[in-house]
Amino acid sequence: MLDIAPLVRVHVDAWIAAQNDMGVCDAIARNAPVGKPTAMSAPHLPKVAGIDSTVPSPTHTAPLPGVPAAPLPPGALIQDRLASWVSDLTTLHELTERLVRTGSLDEALHELLRAGATLVGARRGMAVLEPADGLGPATTVGLGLAHADLGTIETVPRSVTSYGRILEGLPDPVAVPGPIAVPDLLGEAELDPRHREVAARLGYAASYALPLATEAAGRLGAVVWLYDEPAEPVERQRHLVGLYGRYATEHLARLIELERARAQAATIAEELLPSRLPRVPGVRLAARHRTGPHGGGDWYDALPLPEGALGLAVGSVSGTGPSALAAMGRLRASLRAYAVMEGEDPVAVLSDLELLLRLTEPARSATALFAYAEPARRRIVLAGAGHTPPLVVGEHRTEFVETSLSAPLGMLACWEAPSVELAPAPGETVLLYTDGLLRRTGDPMDRAFARLHAAAASVPKADRGDPGAVADHVLRSMLPDDPHAPDPAGEDVVLLAARFD
C-alpha cells in the first residue's frame, strides 16, 4: 500500500503532459504527492479501454438548480486517471497475450483485426500484408467481409483508398507512415466515384487505416477498419490501437521470417528429391512429400535399373534444418550409386550405406528401406534398416510386409537383418512411407499403425487403380485437418506408391 499525504497539489497541464509522455510511476514522482487523499478508498465505476465510462448521476442524487455542486475530494482526479491507465494496460495485456499465441500469419492477421476492431469500436475490417522488400508472402484477409466483398474493395483504385495511400504513397520503403482517418467517407465531395459506389454497396461510411510498419521491420502492410456510420476513434482509442499495432507488427515480422525460412527449406528439399518419377513397364509410381517448417531429412527415390528392374527407396535422416537436408542429399546420391552397382542385393546396398554413414558422419543416424523390383515378374526383394514396414494394398488384402527388425544406419555393429521377398498380385499397390506419417497423427505408434491400415483398407474401389489417388486418400484419412500443411512440430511426410499391373 502507498502511504500518500492528505494534501495533493496537482497542476492540470503538468499532469496531462505526464500522462502523455511518462508512465504511471514517473507521473506520480513528477507531481510529488505530499498527502494521503481521504477518498482514496471510495468506490468508482470501472473503466473499459477505449470507452468513455462517464455515467450520469441517478435522479435521486441530481444537484438542484442554482445549488453549486460539491467539490471533488482531493486526489479523485489522480485516482480516476490511475484506474483508466490500469484498465488500458490490462486490456492491452490480454490482447497481446492472445496475439502471441498465434502460430501462423493467417491466424495473426485475423486476431489483429478482431482486437483492433474492439479498440477502435468498428465492426468490420481488412488487413493487407505486402512486405516492402517484395519477398512476400502477400495476402489479404477480412473481418466481417466475405471473399467476394474483399474482391469488390480491391476493384477501387488503391491511390484513392486510405490503406492504398499507406502501401503505395510513400517512396521510402522503411519510412513509418501515420494512421489515416476518414470520418465521413460519403460526405467527401471529391470522393472517387468507384469508391463511393463500393462503400454504398457494402454499407460502410467511415474508415480508420493503420500502417503495419516499424523502423526495424520496415513496412509490412496496412490494416483498415470500417464503420457503418460516420465516426472516428477518439484520441485515447488511437493511442491504444497504435501501441497494439506496433506490437502486432513485430510479431508479424517474426512470423514472416519463419514462413520464408520454411519456404526456402521446402524448396531445397524438393530440389534434392527426384524432379520426376521414371516410367517402367509393368508398374506405375506416385510420390507425396510434405516438408516440415524447419526442413527435415525425409526422402524418397525411384530409379530404373538394368534388365527392366526398378529400385525404390525411402529414408529419414536424423535432425532438421540445412545440415539435415545436406546429409539427406548425400545419402540419397550414395544409395543411387550403390543401387546401380549391386541393386539386386538390397542388403549389400544398405550395408555399403551403413559403412559410408559411419565413416563420414559418425554423429548422425538414419533409417532407410530399399526395394529391388522386377515388374515383369511382379517380384520385390527389400531390406530395411530401422524403417517402418511397407504396406500392400489390394482388392483382397491390406497388410503390412513382415520385415526383420534392424537398428538404424549408423548404429549397427554388424548387419543382422536379412532381405524379404514378396510377390504383389496384379492391381496391388505397395506403399512405402516414413514414420513422419505416423508421428504427425499424435497417436501412440500402435494406434498410428492401426489408423494407417484402416486408411489403406478404406481406399475406394474406383481409386485403387491410381497410385496417386491411393496416396492422397491415405493422407486425407491420416491427417484430416490439412494433409498439405507443414507440421508445426517439424515432422516430414513421405509416401511412395507403386502399383503393379
Kindly report, residue by residue over 193-234, the tens digit of the pLDDT.
999 999 999 999 999 999 998 777 788 999 999 999 999 999
Nine-digit cell string for 412: 549397427
- Give dist(CA 407, CA 367) in Å, integer: 8
Strands 283-290 and 296-305: unpaired
Nine-digit cell string for 282: 509393368
Is 433 or 29 the better-scoring residue by pLDDT? 433
Alpha helices in 343-461 (DSSP H): 346-360, 436-439, 445-457
97: Cβ contacts below 8 Å, ≥ 6 apart:
none
Nine-digit cell string for 457: 483398407
* Residue range 307-362, pLDDT digits in tens: 999 999 999 998 877 788 888 888 999 999 999 998 899 999 998 898 888 888 88
Nine-digit cell string for 227: 464503420
> In the chain, pLDDT over 90 holds for what percent of residues?
50
The residue extents of the domains of the chain are 1-49+74-101, 102-262, 273-500
What is the pLDDT confidence band of residue 476, given thresholds at 50, 70 and 90?
very high
Residue carrying the nine cell digits 528439399:
269
Strand (E) positions, 156-260? Answer: 180-182, 206-214, 218-227
CA 421 → CA 345, 390, 396, 497, distances in Å? 11, 12, 19, 17
- Give dist(CA 287, CA 273) in Å, integer: 11
CA 500 → CA 345, 393, 425, distances in Å? 21, 11, 7
The reported pLDDT for the residue numbered 65 is 55
- Give dist(CA 491, CA 289) in Å, integer: 11
- Out of 3.40.50.2000, 3.30.450.40, 3.90.470.20, 3.90.1150.10, select the CATH number for domain 102-262: 3.30.450.40
Average pLDDT of 371-379? Answer: 93
Average pLDDT of 30-39? Answer: 39
Nine-digit cell string for 155: 476493384
Residue carrying the nine cell digits 538414419:
366
Give the three-state DSSP class for 26: helix
Say whether pLDDT at 61 is over 60: no
* Residue range 9-24, pLDDT digits in tens: 334 344 334 444 444 3
The reported pLDDT for the residue numbered 14 is 40
337 membership: H or E segment, kind and range: helix 322-342
What is the pLDDT confidence band of residue 484, given thresholds at 50, 70 and 90?
low
The reported pLDDT for the residue numbered 69 is 55
Nine-digit cell string for 262: 520454411
What is the pLDDT confidence band of residue 235, given thresholds at 50, 70 and 90?
very high
Fold observed for domain 273-500? Phosphatase 2c; domain 1 (3.60.40)
The reported pLDDT for the residue numbered 1 is 38
* Residue range 270-306, pLDDT digits in tens: 788 888 899 999 999 999 988 776 667 889 999 999 9
> In the chain, pLDDT over 70 holds for what percent of residues?
79
